[in-house]
């Protein structure tokens, strides 16, 4: 099992110097609470010259470092296997050692569920800036699941900020003392899906809404971040049967896993999903 916890505070975003130019660069918990003010994005001047991307051995980089939950890493690996999509894993040490052109050689980076605070704190500020640069400048796509969605937004806990300063809060049931449950998400062009939720975010404030929670807040969003395509999800359609336990779902696990495959393929190809 897993969950997705992080708490939000207020601080100014760290700005790093990259290649002599200023670049813009939460499972036990997924989380990232509210209370952070938006920070305007910083753009690289048009004269910036990027080093060529270094071809990657596989199209997908799956982060399995400190703060991620091994069960969710395995769940994502299972869906990638069904899809026949090749991937490479990287832990925190390996990701911290990568360069932006190395990361820029991948088509998609996936950050699964876990604890978004721990994920961010396991990486250096240079690394999160590198991820942002790889997405915005090299066109690497990004898929964040629960904690990975918190981490993909703005956070004082070394978030990547692919959202132009927008941070995310927990889905409302978190504040009712509920931390794990099936939730029925609505989709624009098909019937609802009952999916696994555990301490995940609602994703108001950025992107197009792909799926909604029962209270109408966004459960899945997508959008462009520079040259890269980003999908963030506050729920776990990739959750296997073993996670369900005694929870009662109205949707069979096969339907949820099929949708997880659809989401991963959309993220990989930079293809927009139906949205509201």
Q: How many CB atoms lie within 10 A of CB 39?
A: 18
pLDDT of residue 76 exceeding 90, the answer is: yes
Predicted confidence at residue 20, as pLDDT, reads 34
Give the integer Cα–Cα distance in Å for 261 and 266. Answer: 8
Q: What pLDDT is recorded for position 196?
A: 98
Distance of alpha carbon 91 from alpha carbon 206, whole angstroms = 28
Mean pLDDT of the chain: 88
Q: Flag whether pLDDT at 98 surpasses 80.
A: yes
Maximum pairwise Cα distance, the chain: 57
- Pinpoint the alpha helices (H) of 122-232: 125-138, 147-152
Average confidence (pLDDT) over 68-88: 98
Mean pLDDT along residues 65-76: 98
Is 73's pLDDT higher than 60?
A: yes
pLDDT at 126 over 50: yes
- In this structure, the strands spanning 141-145 and 228-233 are parallel
Which pLDDT belongs to residue 30?
A: 72
**Cα angle, residue 31 at apex, residues 176 and 156 outer, rounded to 5°:** 130
Of 128, 133, 122, 142, nearest in space to 68 by CA: 122
The CA R_g of the chain, rounded to the nearest whole Å, is: 17
Query: What's residue 23's pLDDT?
Result: 34
pLDDT at position 39 over 60: no
pLDDT tens sequence across 195-248: 999 999 999 999 999 999 999 999 999 999 999 999 999 999 999 999 999 999
Q: In Å, what is the CA distance from 54 to each residue of 57, 85, 212, 226?
A: 10, 19, 38, 19
Neighbouring C-alpha atoms within 13 Å toward the C-beta of 93? 0
Q: Which H/E stretch holds residue 222? A: strand 218-225
Give the model's pLDDT for residue 27.
41
User: Residue 171: is its pLDDT beyond 60?
Assistant: yes
pLDDT attached to residue 85: 98
Q: Does 30 or 150 have the greater pLDDT score?
A: 150
- Report residue 104: phi and psi, to 5°: -65, -15
With pLDDT > 90 as the criterion, what percentage of the chain qualifies?
A: 82
Q: What backbone torsions phi and psi does residue 194 show, to the nearest 5 degrees?
A: -95, 115
pLDDT at 29 over 80: no
CA–CA distance, 86 with 184 (Å, rounded to integer): 31
Q: Is the pLDDT of residue 7 over 60?
A: no
Range of weakest confidence among 24-38, 41-55, 76-90, 140-154:
24-38
Q: What is the pLDDT of residue 31?
A: 60
- Cβ contact 39:8 at 8 Å: no
Q: What is the DSSP letter of 47?
A: T
The pair phi, psi for residue 96, each rounded to 5°, is: -60, -25
Distance CA 106, CA 134 (A): 9
pLDDT at 215: 98
Which pLDDT value is given to residue 3? 54
- In the block, which residue shows the tokens 């132009």? 164
User: Tokens 């941070």 belong to which residue?
Assistant: 167
Q: Which of 20-34, 48-62, 171-185 has the lowest mean pLDDT?
A: 20-34
The whole-number pLDDT of residue 165 equals 98
CA distance 163 to 152: 8
**Measuring CA to CA, how many Å separate 169 from each of 62, 219, 256?**
24, 11, 24
Residue 257 CB contacts under 8 Å (≥ 6 apart), including other chains:
79, 82, 237, 238, 240
> Using alpha carbons only, what angle is made at residue 59 by residues 3 and 211, rounded to the nearest 5 degrees?
45
């Amino acid at each position: 099992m897993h969950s997705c916890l992080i708490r939000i505070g207020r601080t100014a975003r760290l700005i790093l110097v990259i290649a002599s130019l200023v670049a813009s660069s939460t499972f036990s918990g997924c989380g990232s609470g509210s209370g952070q003010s938006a920070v305007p994005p910083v753009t690289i001047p048009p004269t910036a010259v990027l080093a060529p991307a270094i071809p990657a051995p596989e199209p997908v980089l799956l982060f399995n470092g400190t703060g991620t939950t091994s069960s969710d890493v395995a769940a994502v690996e299972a869906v990638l296997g069904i899809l026949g999509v090749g991937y490479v894993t990287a832990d925190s040490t390996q990701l911290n050692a990568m360069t932006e052109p190395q990361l820029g050689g991948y088509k998609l980076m996936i950050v699964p569920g876990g604890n978004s605070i721990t994920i961010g704190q396991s990486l250096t500020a240079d690394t999160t800036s590198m991820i942002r640069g790889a997405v915005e400048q090299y066109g690497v796509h990004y898929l964040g699941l629960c904690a990975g969605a918190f981490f993909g937004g703005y956070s004082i806990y070394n978030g990547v900020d692919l959202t132009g300063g927008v941070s995310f809060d927990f889905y409302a049931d978190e504040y009712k003392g509920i931390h794990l449950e099936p939730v029925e998400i609505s989709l624009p062009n098909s019937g609802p899906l009952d999916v696994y939720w555990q301490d995940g975010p609602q994703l108001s404030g950025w992107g197009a809404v792909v799926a909604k929670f029962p209270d109408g807040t966004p459960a899945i969003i997508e959008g462009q971040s520079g040259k890269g395509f980003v999908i963030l999800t506050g729920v776990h359609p990739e959750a296997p049967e073993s996670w369900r336990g005694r929870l009662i779902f109205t949707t069979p696990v096969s339907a949820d896993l099929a949708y997880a495959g659809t989401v991963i393929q959309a993220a990989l190809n930079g293809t927009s999903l139906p949205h509201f």
